Structure 1
Amino acid sequence: MTEDHRQRYYASEQYLLPADKTEIARLDLQHRVFTKAFENRLSLAPLKLQSGDRVLESAAGTGIWAPEFSEENSKNGIILDIEYIDISDKQFLRKPPPNIHFSLRSAIDLPAEWNETFSYVHQRLIIVALNDSLWRKAISEFFRVLLPGGWLEIVEIDTNCYRDSYVGPYTNKLQALTLSMFAEKGMLVDLAPYFPPLLKEIGFVDVQFEVRRARIGRSGES
Structure 2
Amino acid sequence: MALVDKTVEAATAPITHTPREYQEYPGSQYILPTDTPELQRLTLQHRTLKSMYGGRILWAPVELTEEDKVLDTGCGPGLWVLDLASSVSPAIQMTGIDIESRLFPPFPPPNLTFQIQSVLSLPADWSNTFTLIHQRLLLLALEIPQWPVALSEMHRVLRPGGWVQLAESTPWHVGTYPGRPAMEKLTALYRAASEARNLYVDCAYDMPKLLKDAGFVDIASESRMQQMGSWAGEDGEAMRKNHVAVLAGIKTPVLNAGGYGIVSSESEYDQLVEDLHREWEEVPGTDKEFIVFWARKPLN
Query: What TM-score, normalized to structure 2?
Result: 0.67
Q: Which residue of 1 aligns with 2:49?
A: 34
Picking from 21, 25, 42, the partner of 2:36 is 21
Q: Distance in 1 between matches of 2:46 and 2:228?
A: 12
Q: Which residue of 1 aligns with 2:213?
A: 201
Q: Secondary structure at the match of 1:194?
A: helix
Shift of 1:164: 8.6
Task: Assess if the C-alpha contact under 8 Å between 2:70 and 2:95 holds in 1.
Answer: yes
Map 1:183-222 → 2, pairs under 5 A: 183-219=195-231, 220-222=233-235
Q: Which residue of 1 aligns with 2:166?
A: 154
* Aligned residue-pair number: 218
Q: Which residue of 1 aligns with 2:86?
A: 71
With over 3 angstroms needed to count, the CA separation of the structure-2 counterparts of 1:128 and 1:167, relative to structure 1, is farther
Identity %: 37
With over 3 angstroms needed to count, the CA separation of the structure-2 counterparts of 1:165 and 1:208, relative to structure 1, is farther
Larger Rg: 2
Q: Secondary structure at the match of 2:169?
A: coil
Task: Assess if the C-alpha contact under 8 Å between 1:59 and 1:87 holds in 2.
Answer: yes
Q: Secondary structure at the match of 1:208?
A: strand
Picking from 66, 71, 92, the partner of 1:56 is 71
Shift of 1:167: 8.2
Q: Distance in 1 between matches of 2:191 and 2:217?
A: 31
Picking from 168, 186, 197, the partner of 1:174 is 186
Higher RCO (C-alpha under 8 Å, 6+ residues apart):
2
Asked if 1:139 corresponds to 2:151, the answer is yes
- The one-character-per-residue Cα deviations of 1:94-137 (angstroms, maximum 9, x if unpaired) are 41100001111011010000000000000001111112211111
Deviates more, 1:10-19 or 1:132-141: 10-19
Shift of 1:199: 1.2
Letter in 1 for 2:24: A
Q: Secondary structure at the match of 1:34?
A: helix
Letter in 1 for 2:183: T
Deviates more, 1:111-120 or 1:194-203: 194-203
Shift of 1:35: 0.8
Shift of 1:80: 1.6
Task: Assess if the C-alpha contact under 8 Å between 2:22 and 2:34 holds in 1.
Answer: yes
Task: Assess if the C-alpha contact under 8 Å between 1:38 and 1:44 holds in 2.
Answer: no
Moved beyond 6 Å, runs of 4+? 161-167
With over 3 angstroms needed to count, the CA separation of the structure-2 counterparts of 1:165 and 1:36, relative to structure 1, is farther
Shift of 1:165: 8.6
- The one-character-per-residue Cα deviations of 1:13-68 (angstroms, maximum 9, x if unpaired) are 41111111111111111111111122111112112221231000001111222121
Task: Assess if the C-alpha contact under 8 Å between 1:70 and 1:79 holds in 2.
Answer: no
Query: What TM-score, normalized to structure 1?
Result: 0.89
Task: Assess if the C-alpha contact under 8 Å between 2:72 and 2:134 holds in 1.
Answer: yes
Q: Distance in 1 between matches of 2:173 and 2:93?
A: 35
Q: Distance in 2 between matches of 1:218 and 1:161?
A: 22
Q: Distance in 2 between matches of 1:170 and 1:109?
A: 39
Q: Which residue of 2 aligns with 1:115?
A: 127
Q: Distance in 2 between matches of 1:217 and 1:171?
A: 13
Shift of 1:161: 7.5
Deviates more, 1:129-138 or 1:156-165: 156-165
Q: Distance in 1 between matches of 2:173 and 2:129?
A: 35
Q: Distance in 1 between matches of 2:221 and 2:43?
A: 24
| Unaligned runs of at least 5 residues, structure 2 | 1-13, 236-300
Q: Which residue of 1 aligns with 2:110?
A: 98
Q: Which residue of 1 aligns with 2:21?
A: 8
Letter in 2 for 1:18: P
Q: Distance in 2 between matches of 1:148 and 1:30?
A: 32
